[in-house]
């Protein structure tokens, strides 16, 4: 389930004195995928319209969607004013999407951490990817407001399901970033 932002800006009426701010627009795709993009605009409505126009013109086809909660087809489904904790797939300025390039070295692009020493969060970097897991439903019982589904705590993964959205997590600032160009992943 995607993280819901703690605060949201309210729709604003555009005036000549309005200045551009950065908004996050959530894009939903298919029945279970989403992605967040940053949009420089004067208000939430303008940010959502810019993204809707880019989706219509197929200019955001290379976005990598993450599993989440959505509806049919790529469309905007939410927006809020961006803060430093938001992580986005691209930034849209003057109607042009700018996709971040992976770093050339193993260095966190957010905080500059190089992984030479362990952090207070443990370790240096973590490899992350998305893969479908499953758990057995043990029992469905109860009635009325007291209904429950008991789920086995042990999770299994579908072996035929490929890992998607491979990335690294910096254990210093806890933000994610693409695997640096030129680094080959090897599993032992």
Task: Convert the pLDDT of each residue in 22-62 to its tens digit.
Answer: 999 988 876 567 788 889 999 999 999 999 899 888 888 77
pLDDT value at position 1?
42
pLDDT value at position 129?
86
CA separation for the pair 69, 100 (Å, rounded): 25
Question: What is the number of other CB atoms lying within 10 angstroms of the CB of residue 103?
Answer: 17
pLDDT value at position 72?
56
CA separation for the pair 106, 168 (Å, rounded): 10
What's the rounded mean pLDDT across residues 156-161?
77
pLDDT value at position 140?
84
pTM exceeds 0.95 for this model: no
27 alpha carbon, distance to own chain's centre: 10
Q: Is the pLDDT of residue 71 over 60?
A: no
Cβ-contact 28, 34 below 8 angstroms: yes
Q: How far is CA 27 from CA 48, 67, 87, 114, in A?
A: 9, 12, 14, 32
Mean of pLDDT over the chain = 79
- Least-confidence region, from 72-86, 97-111, 114-128, 146-160: 72-86
Which of the two residues, 33 and 173, has the higher pLDDT score?
173
């Amino acid at each position: 389930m995607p993280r819901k932002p703690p605060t949201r800006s309210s729709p604003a009426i555009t005036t000549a004195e309005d200045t551009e701010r950065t908004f996050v627009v959530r894009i939903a795709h298919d029945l279970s995928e989403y992605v967040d993009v940053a949009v420089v605009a004067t208000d939430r409505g303008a940010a959502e319209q810019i993204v809707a126009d880019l989706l219509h013109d197929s200019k955001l086809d290379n976005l990598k969607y993450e599993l989440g909660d959505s509806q049919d087809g790529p469309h905007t489904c939410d927006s809020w004013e961006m803060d430093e904790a938001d992580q986005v797939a691209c930034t849209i300025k003057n109607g042009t999407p700018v996709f971040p390039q992976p770093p050339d070295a193993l260095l966190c692009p957010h905080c500059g951490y190089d992984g030479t020493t362990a952090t207070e969060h443990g370790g240096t970097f973590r490899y992350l990817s998305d893969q479908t897991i499953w758990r057995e439903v043990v029992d469905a019982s109860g009635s009325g407001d007291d209904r429950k589904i008991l789920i086995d705590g042990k999770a299994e993964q579908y072996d035929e399901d490929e890992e998607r959205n491979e990335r690294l997590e910096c254990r210093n600032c806890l933000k994610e970033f693409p695997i640096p160009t030129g680094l080959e992943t090897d599993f032992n």
